[in-house]
Amino acid sequence: MSPTFPHRTASPSVAGSPRVGILALQGDVREHERVLRSLGAEVVSIRRPDELLAVDGLVLPGGESTVIDKLARGFGVAEPLSRAIAAGLPVYGTCAGLILLADRLEDGIEGQRTFGGLDVTVRRNAFGGQVESFEASVAVPTFGGPPVDAAFIRAPLVVSTGPGVEVLAELDDGGIVAVRQGNAIGTAFHPEVSGERRFHELFLSLVRAA
């Protein structure tokens, strides 16, 4: 039987460090792990439903959203993960992770599902394939300071948002590439690849507040 999530049961780790899980089915898990550890978090890999009960927050890494979706269902973690997010588990998704957090998806493959958590519509591969990957400086007003160095790798794009969604960053043409809603943050790009830590800091602030 899959666990339910009326209350999360994670406990603080040594010295009060937040315990953060990374969905480790496919994608750039190590890059996120490196950033989170540098910020003082304890990091564990998540592959099974019961492992969700032992974390204070969760990262959905970049990778291939269709593969992560299929593996999450195959490992029996998809539905428990969706329930955990709905119950308030702080979550941060980059690129494929943003796709998986979207309540609505454009240009997905037949039968593709998402976990939900962000009242947005996301277009998969919005900028084209691998050869259309690019880097850009993206202003994030909530951070202040210099713009974010953002790596867009077969990146998605947020094409519409619900009323409760805060837009954190846009491209020069107005394309939405970072959003937040309650306990969930999503970015279309990979700050973990470019050495940018401020989105992970924002995520950890949600984890600590929860």
> Which domains can be identified in the chain, with CATH numbers?
16-209 (3.40.50.880)
User: Could you tell me where the beta strands, DSSP code E, fall in the chain?
Assistant: 19-23, 42-46, 57-60, 91-94, 102-106, 118-123, 134-138, 148-152, 157-161, 166-170, 176-181, 184-187
What does the pLDDT look like over 131-168, one tens digit per residue? 778 899 999 999 999 999 999 999 999 999 999 999 99
Please pick, among 190, 196, 200, 201, the residue that the annotation labels catalytic: 190
Q: Is 200 a catalytic residue?
A: no
- Give the model's pLDDT for residue 147: 95
The tens digit of pLDDT for each residue in 52-89 reads 999 999 999 999 999 999 999 999 999 999 999 999 99
Going by pLDDT thresholds of 50, 70 and 90, the confidence category of residue 12 is: very low
Give the end-to-end CA distance of the chain in Å, rounded to a whole number.
27
Residue 3 predicted with pLDDT over 70:
no
pTM for the predicted model, two decimal places: 0.91
pLDDT at 4 over 70: no
What average pLDDT is seen over the chain? 91
95 an active-site residue? yes
Of 57, 55, 51, 56, whose CA–CA distance to 25 is shortest? 51
Amino acid 51: pLDDT: 95
Name residues whose C-beta falls within 8 Å of residue 110's C-beta, 6 or more positions apart in sequence: none
Catalytic residue among 95, 170, 200, 201: 95
Q: Is 106 a catalytic residue?
A: no
Please give the residue that has the higher pLDDT: either 195 or 41: 41
